[in-house]
Chains A and B, each alone.
Chain A
């Protein structure tokens, strides 16, 4: 349809126009491996408009001609349920333009189900080449395949391919070039029952007599499936609809179960094709995968092994990423030190570049090691087949509130850092669970929240209640986000996401060694996506936040007068430069804003210093400890273990002399940090993964609201109790 709106392509189109080839098939049929083998590193990752579905395409060259391949999302049928499937069907139906050739990736080891989709596809697409994958699995099982028979049943060329070994890839390219040069006419008939096709013929006749064009296939579709798109043409016309209804009665009788009939006909055909083209092994041996699975999905060993794997993964992220992050941090300082003197003449530019851009972008790139390491483990676990087992084991635990077993990895990753957590939500095949997981992942207590907990627990809880309670508080803080996430998911599931729910379906693939090439490609493409985000969105936000804290420039002579009127004891704790910096920030746009909204945070027990620290930490919550250092007058160069900051916090008071940091205020502040979305990199990642600012804004608003409500509630309960 959209084609008719376009200007026609001028005749004699330039030869550079690449024919598009769609790679279609069931999930797990080996599509991605084949895509990687065809295109290598020449891949582009984008998004389909309006949905979170990634558009993956790439080029390959064969005998001087360049072709564009689209890796269409995996499909089970041409009746889409999820957005991913809708996108896939749209691509096949010619949005934005119909592919010149469909390469159907057919899993030889799972022929019947893979042929179901083929039977639907072959009704509308005539130019098809079949890439037959996983024939090595058949060989291993001892089954024999008759390629000629399979090809004659399917009515098109069938090329066996073992993509990761490069076997058959060249032959496939040749077959593709042949099919593009002389498109084939494929007319597949799976053999629907006579009663169905007779009724379809009568409907066609009737419609044709009335001057309504209707094909036999469409008539059959209307008869067997009320939801068929062709039905819409007739539903509004009572006299035509009556004819269809009558024939439906004839075909289906009282049961009205047309889809059953449709599926039965297709599967009967698929079973026959399989029987004719594959000779099963004489005896079926228990496969290695089944032996391994006996332990790895066992109710005791399976769970223990799972916990062990997860512990190993996150322990290595923690220990391996640390040194790399230090290196990046040192690099950031080195770059800043290198650039700073070059801009000495222009202080505004110097501050913009050093404090704004290098600091802002640098503090995000520091997460790159975590992302690389996490995606290394994810792609290895996925490549071996274990990730699917983990989802199988965990599904019940996460399923009851509306998530599914696959959400496990993103949520667990988010305890280290929400950015890789959000990015890894792509392991989920349907958009709804993906968005839901992306939205709650930032509630998990990431490692950047830890310094705040340590600082406040060390300053307030431990001195009063002892080490045991301090330890318990730290532990409890990590559960706050998780506990809040459950009702959030329940509400999202009921209230925000409406419409069809995809059933949970999962296939446990055979165990195998990961393909290192695929692992490498996954890591590099994820790292690239992350760096592009850091270089664009985060760059822009860093500049904005810098400007809000930098302008207007302070009145240094006035600050100096104020400083000289301070008591000598106070002057000991803070130098003139620190004091000027503090006052300048206080009077910057952001600082004024902090003061202005202090009344709003007063019910939570926060004074303007805490409020400004919170505001300053919105771009990245790591900033909060240095910000508190500046605001409480001990200078920005502090960490959570700094004695001076701890005692400054303990001694801090409201103007009327009441202590500021009561245990309730500490708790309220920690819960605020636990729930609030103070991380622009996470928001940028959410935007990137959901392909819309809407969900990033949603996450920001709901988390900030929750944080505010909870911290006010805690403070108010505290007031009532004491």
Chain B
């Protein structure tokens, strides 16, 4: 069984896949509209000097998000 990660555990340079999305919370619908849906693969391209926000690359574009606002997502790390 793969280890499930939260957004707090994402590190710079890590490749990961969205495992689950918990619908219903406010920012979550928006995250899905931006392309973060189960199965989306991404890599963590930047972490701000103070640890948050982070920048991820997915679906051919890059997006900065706060770790605290992506709590409805779970990830699995990709090799």
Give the CA-CA distance A112 to B40 in the complex, in Å: 12
Is the beta-carbon distance between B52 and A395 smaller than 8 angstroms?
A: yes
Is the beta-carbon distance between B23 and A396 smaller than 8 angstroms?
A: no
Assuming the A-B contacts A393-B49, A508-B55, are A503 and B30 also in contact, with contact meaning beta carbons closer than 8 angstroms in the complex? Answer: yes
Partner of A264, one of B38, B55, B66: B38
Interface centre among A79, A259, A502 (most CB of B within 10 A): A259
Interface residues of A in 466-509 (CB under 8 A from B): 500-508
Partner of B33, one of A77, A111, A274, A396: A77
Assuming the A-B contacts A113-B59, A257-B23, are A504 and B46 also in contact, with contact meaning beta carbons closer than 8 angstroms in the complex? Answer: no
Assuming the A-B contacts A112-B59, A259-B29, A396-B53, are A505 and B35 also in contact, with contact meaning beta carbons closer than 8 angstroms in the complex? Answer: no
Is the beta-carbon distance between B53 and A395 smaller than 8 angstroms?
A: yes
Q: Say which size band chain A's interface belongs to.
A: 35 or more
Q: Indicate with 1 or 0, residue by residue over B29-52, a CB within 8 angstroms of chain A CB atoms.
A: 111111101111000001011111
Is the beta-carbon distance between B61 and A505 smaller than 8 angstroms?
A: no
Is the beta-carbon distance between B52 and A396 smaller than 8 angstroms?
A: yes
The answer to the question of A267 belonging to the interface, with a C-beta cut-off of 8 Å to chain B, is yes
Give the CA-CA distance A396 to B40 in the complex, in Å: 26
Partner of A76, one of B34, B60, B62: B34
Give the CA-CA distance A364 to B42 in the complex, in Å: 51
Partner of A501, one of B26, B32, B48, B63: B26
Give the CA-CA distance A501 to B52 in the complex, in Å: 18
Nearest Cβ on chain A to B72's Cβ, whole angstroms: 10
Is the beta-carbon distance between A504 and B65 smaller than 8 angstroms?
A: yes
Interface residues of B (CB under 8 A from A): 21, 23, 26-27, 29-35, 37-40, 46, 48-53, 55, 59-66, 69-70
The answer to the question of A704 belonging to the interface, with a C-beta cut-off of 8 Å to chain B, is no
> Which A residues touch B64, using CB under 8 A?
392, 504-508
Assuming the A-B contacts A79-B33, A259-B23, A396-B52, are A507 and B62 also in contact, with contact meaning beta carbons closer than 8 angstroms in the complex? Answer: yes
Interface residues of A in 392-443 (CB under 8 A from B): 392-393, 395-397, 399, 405
Q: Which of A297-305, A317-325, A641-649 contacts B (4 or more CB under 8 A)?
A: A297-305
Interface residues of A in 235-291 (CB under 8 A from B): 256-260, 263-264, 267, 271, 274
Assuming the A-B contacts A77-B33, A110-B60, A260-B32, are A505 and B48 also in contact, with contact meaning beta carbons closer than 8 angstroms in the complex? Answer: no
> Which B residues touch A506, using CB under 8 A?
53, 63-64
Interface residues of A in 108-163 (CB under 8 A from B): 109-113, 116
Assuming the A-B contacts A503-B30, A504-B66, are A112 and B35 also in contact, with contact meaning beta carbons closer than 8 angstroms in the complex? Answer: yes
Q: A112-B59, A260-B32, A502-B30 are in contact. List 4 more A-B contacts (CB 8 A).
A: A109-B61, A502-B27, A503-B26, A504-B64
Give the CA-CA distance A7 to B34 in the complex, in Å: 41
Give the CA-CA distance A396 to B23 in the complex, in Å: 26
The answer to the question of A81 belonging to the interface, with a C-beta cut-off of 8 Å to chain B, is yes
Is the beta-carbon distance between B53 and A267 smaller than 8 angstroms?
A: no
Assuming the A-B contacts A267-B37, A501-B26, A505-B65, are A257 and B60 also in contact, with contact meaning beta carbons closer than 8 angstroms in the complex? Answer: no
Give the CA-CA distance A664 to B51 in the complex, in Å: 42
The answer to the question of A293 belonging to the interface, with a C-beta cut-off of 8 Å to chain B, is yes
> Which A residues touch B49, using CB under 8 A?
297-300, 302-303, 393
In the complex, 22 of the A-B residue pairs with CB atoms within 8 angstroms, ordered by the A residue number, are A76-B30, A111-B60, A113-B34, A113-B59, A257-B23, A258-B23, A259-B23, A260-B21, A264-B38, A271-B59, A293-B46, A392-B46, A392-B64, A393-B49, A396-B48, A396-B51, A405-B53, A503-B70, A504-B53, A507-B62, A508-B62, A508-B64
Is the beta-carbon distance between B59 and A76 smaller than 8 angstroms?
A: no
Is the beta-carbon distance between B69 and A503 smaller than 8 angstroms?
A: yes
Give the CA-CA distance A209 to B42 in the complex, in Å: 47
Closest residue of B by beta carbon distance from A504: B66
Give the CA-CA distance A113 to B62 in the complex, in Å: 11
Is the beta-carbon distance between A507 and B63 smaller than 8 angstroms?
A: yes
Give the CA-CA distance A256 to B39 in the complex, in Å: 18
> Which B residues touch A267, using CB under 8 A?
35, 37, 40, 59
Nearest Cβ on chain A to B18's Cβ, whole angstroms: 10
